[in-house]
Chain A
Amino acid sequence: QSALIQPRSVSGSPGQSVTISCTGTSSEVGGYDYVSWYQQSPGKAPKVIIYDVTKRPSGVPYRFSGSKSGNTASLTISGLQAEDEADYYCCSSTGSYTWVFGGGTKVTVL
């Protein structure tokens, strides 16, 4: 159960787009369409923003989108806003009733 690989940080100016990658193996990310993404602001519990690779829960802004190619999933924030500054975590179930998270990516709005 090794953690999924994410960049430690990404940054962008307001209005720009940023993309966070999440790399795993065929045992989780590449093997199942069960990738989800969570946003965590300082001192708060995480909140889901993407599930099943591409789907957005009700209330999550359209500027958040997800995709996957092979063993790498990606989260894109289009039209970056100040309130998007937070930590972001990818997560995948493994098909054997275990889950694994990425190491987390800090998004900074310049």
Chain B
Amino acid sequence: QVHLTESGGGVVQPGGSLRLSCVGSAFTFSAFGMHWVRQAPGKGLEWVAIIWYDGSEKYYGDSVKGRFTISRDNFKNTVFLEMNNLRAEDTAIYYCVREEIHIVQGVPQPGLGTHWFDTWGQGALVTVSS
């Protein structure tokens, strides 16, 4: 069964740093673009970042650009989110999310994303507080 498992959440002071990890299992990790989506307590979903299947391209939401860095290690089936200069408003559950890929004549197309999210992790809570 396809699974995503986040780790690395915790409490950090304003201005501090934290790195989240997400391990994928039961699928060909290197074929899929991976995202991070966050949800502040009692609030809605906010898209944070994407990294392409091969790590060649990365894009970020405006609120984290310049402070967060997404990366991946396809040998370890892991995607990371390095978060620096953290602010109180970064407090949220951070979900690791897989973007589905196109299947052509029954064959999955690595890197050919579909623009929707088919698998979500259980989330990692990050609390920024002094």
Q: Contact between A36 and B117 (Cβ–Cβ < 8 Å)?
A: yes
* Interface stretch of the complex, out of B16-24, B57-65, B80-88: B57-65
**What's the least CB distance linking B14 to chain A, in Å?**
23
User: Per a CB cutoff under 8 Å, which of A1, A40, A47, A104 touches B61?
Assistant: A1
A103 CA to B45 CA in the complex, in Å? 7
Q: Which residues from A are CB-within-8-Å of B60?
A: 98
Q: Which residues from A are CB-within-8-Å of B118?
A: 48, 57
Q: Does A101 have its Cβ within 8 Å of any Cβ on chain B?
A: yes
A100 CA to B62 CA in the complex, in Å? 11
Q: Contact between A103 and B50 (Cβ–Cβ < 8 Å)?
A: no
Q: A1-B62, A45-B120 are contacts. A99–B44 as well, Cβ < 8 Å? A: no
Q: Which residues from A are CB-within-8-Å of B57?
A: 97
**What's the least CB distance linking B69 to chain A, in Å?**
16
Among B94-130, those with CB < 8 Å from A are 95, 100, 114-118, 120-123
Q: Contact between A102 and B115 (Cβ–Cβ < 8 Å)?
A: no
**What's the least CB distance linking B56 to chain A, in Å?**
12
A26 CA to B123 CA in the complex, in Å? 32
Most central of B35, B50, B57 by chain A CB within 10 Å: B50
Q: A1-B62, A45-B121, A98-B59 are contacts. A51–B116 as well, Cβ < 8 Å? A: yes
Work out how many contacts link A and B, with CB atoms closer than 8 A.
65
Q: Contact between B44 and A36 (Cβ–Cβ < 8 Å)?
A: no
A105 CA to B53 CA in the complex, in Å? 32
Q: Contact between A45 and B45 (Cβ–Cβ < 8 Å)?
A: no
Q: Which residues from A are CB-within-8-Å of B61?
A: 1, 98
Q: Contact between A102 and B47 (Cβ–Cβ < 8 Å)?
A: no
Most central of B35, B61, B120, B121 by chain A CB within 10 Å: B120
Q: Which residues from A are CB-within-8-Å of B100?
A: 51
Among A22-73, those with CB < 8 Å from B are 32, 34, 36, 38, 40, 45-48, 51-52, 57
Q: Can you show 7 pairs from A to B with CB atoms below 8 A apart?
A: A1-B61, A45-B121, A48-B116, A48-B117, A51-B116, A96-B59, A99-B47
Q: Which 9 A-B pairs have the closest CB atoms?
A: A51-B116, A34-B115, A45-B120, A36-B116, A104-B44, A99-B47, A93-B115, A97-B59, A101-B45
